[in-house]
Structure 1
Amino acid sequence: MGYHRLGVVDIYELVRRYHDGASISKISERLSLARKTVRRYLRKAEEAALSWEEPLPQREKLLDLLRPLLPDPSRACPAQEQFEDHWPELRELVTRETGPLKPKSAFGIVQQKYSLTASYSSFKRFWRSKREELGEADPALTCRFEVDPGEEVQIDYGRMGLIYDRVEKRNRTVYAFIATLSHSRFTFVELTYSQDQKSFVGSNVRMVEFFGGVPRRVVALPHQLSYRSRGVASSPILPAAVP
């Protein structure tokens, strides 16, 4: 999983779920956290004198106890620290006069040499932060492909975070269903607790009602698979161009 800087509500939810009997694997799945991250914060909670055998303090008091466990906001994420340690070597591999390497090749060499655990996606973010130091120009802007009115709508989900559900009296993960008309960029947004089939179909129905019509093609991002509005195609259709 990618690096995600936790907030106090995330840690509270992690602790509450574990205290209620949820397994580390289940907590990892529901909160989109690596299992080692869950274990680390459970260990920190124990060091802060929290007991799994006794009732947890009231919510506000527990939040106050958990705030000292938050990571230092001034500290770089672990992946960035790994690359920073080897920055001189990475820079030399890419800028040397004889046989300079592409950044991706330099990443592969350093990753294998030092057994780095950070992903290539993390490396790309790190490399972008070094563009000015390397004297590299910003990448050229990409030209937007125009789409005719009524031709296409793009849909996607985004994780918004945790919110306290006063009905169920617990924190729940909230997602945003986002639909954008490709021509006008007019957008429909709906918050939901689930991405299951029932929720997905319901969001699409309300999207159509909001827009007042059905686009000819629906593109589901980031996979860029689409289906025709007159019926689901026998196989996914890759759009010719996605703006």
Structure 2
Amino acid sequence: MPYRELIMVDIKEMFRRRAAGQSARHVARATGFDRKTVGRYFEAATTLPLPCDREPTDEEIHAIAQRVQARPVPDTSEEWKENGTHRARIEAWLAQPRPLKLTKIHVLLKRDHGVSASYGTLRRFAMEELAWRKKTPTVRVADTESGGIAQVDFGLMGGLFDPATQRVRNLWVLVVTLAYSRYQFVWPSFEQTTTAVCAGLDTAWKFFGAMARVILPDNMKAIVLRADELAVVLVPAFLDYTQTRGLFVDAARVRSPKDKARVENHVAYGKPPTHPRTKRR
């Protein structure tokens, strides 16, 4: 199968993590790139040569990309194309309440549809194209070092009069909680934009007196362009912010509040107290 060609910002992020001491396996897991793809770029960097502890310049990134992406893309085999013509049929068999075994599907394709592809090719096709037997990603929750991770989330506080617009608007707070100490910072804002998030984070770093190494945010639109369990795509403006500040982002999974439980539990502390209703006699 053809490998994925990366754009300049992707390659820069890959080598930024390499300069921080992350292995190819770690970089692949954090960015969602295939580990073999990461290995090819790292191997190409050794031909410059590029030291492991230094981020490449734009000219060096361009040279590395040319070395990797100049490789000819192999043609798809005829057996793979055969399976591709029956993709919908294979997908339906695997999606049944009681899915057919892949060995049975191979027999049916060969007997009823004249497919000559081997079982090994069918198995690779099902795994790569249809995510067959794709393992559920494991989220490792481990104690971090002091200042290692900061969990980030937005919370709605309620309506508040805005003098600038002369109307009542929803007031949000950006909550930043250090995972190690549970030290908390709250930043009020009428907006949930990327600019507001960056301003809130910069103020949080001043408040804490240092920056965290990794931030673990919710999949808020100001940060995450496309949510994915393995290959999260960040908003370009926020990716530029993290690269400028030397931060790494490990976004939580969609609808998985336990991934950022320490900040999730702290959002309630930023809300104003509610008064119980007076009971009528």
| TM-score for both structures, normalised by structure 2 | 0.36
| TM-score for both structures, normalised by structure 1 | 0.40
User: Which of the pair has more CA radius of gyration?
Assistant: 2
